[in-house]
């Protein structure tokens, strides 16, 4: 029976060693899987951030309504002064007004143009002169 007991002890020892080795391998695999999982989460978060930023930039550039002001009164005053000083003819003023209208008509659709008379501050002023 002593030989049988020795055999059983050898089997238990060898299985214990295998169990310890398997446990160590499992722990190592779980740690590396945790690192891989963390890297995936970081990549997902980075991709989400980039796509959100791109979406906001595209929306702001092409779709968000923006107000811009044009000082029509100053423009007309300059035209009138040029006419009075004989620097321009009435025909040239008419052509300048046609050019101004064309420039205003060609403004992007997401920009609303208002006169500078109603603006106090914090708005972009257009300079559509030559």
Q: Give me the pLDDT at residue 29, please.
A: 66
24-65, pLDDT tens digit by residue? 777 666 666 666 778 888 999 999 999 999 999 999 989 999
9-35, pLDDT tens digit by residue? 555 555 555 566 777 777 666 666 666
Rounded Cα distance between 18 and 24, Å, is 10
pLDDT above 70 for 111? yes
């Amino acid at each position: 029976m002593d030989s049988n007991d020795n055999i059983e002890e050898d089997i238990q020892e060898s299985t214990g060693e295998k169990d310890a080795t398997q446990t160590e391998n499992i722990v190592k695999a779980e740690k590396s899987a945790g690192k891989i999982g963390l890297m995936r989460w970081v990549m997902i978060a980075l991709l989400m951030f980039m796509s959100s930023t791109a979406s906001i930039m595209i929306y702001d550039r092409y779709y968000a309504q923006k107000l811009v002001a044009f000082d029509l009164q100053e423009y007309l005053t300059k035209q009138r002064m040029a006419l009075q000083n004989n620097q321009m003819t009435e025909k040239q003023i008419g052509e300048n007004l046609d050019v101004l209208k064309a420039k205003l008509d060609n403004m992007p659709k997401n920009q609303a143009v208002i006169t500078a008379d109603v603006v106090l501050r914090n708005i972009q002023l257009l300079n559509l002169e030559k």
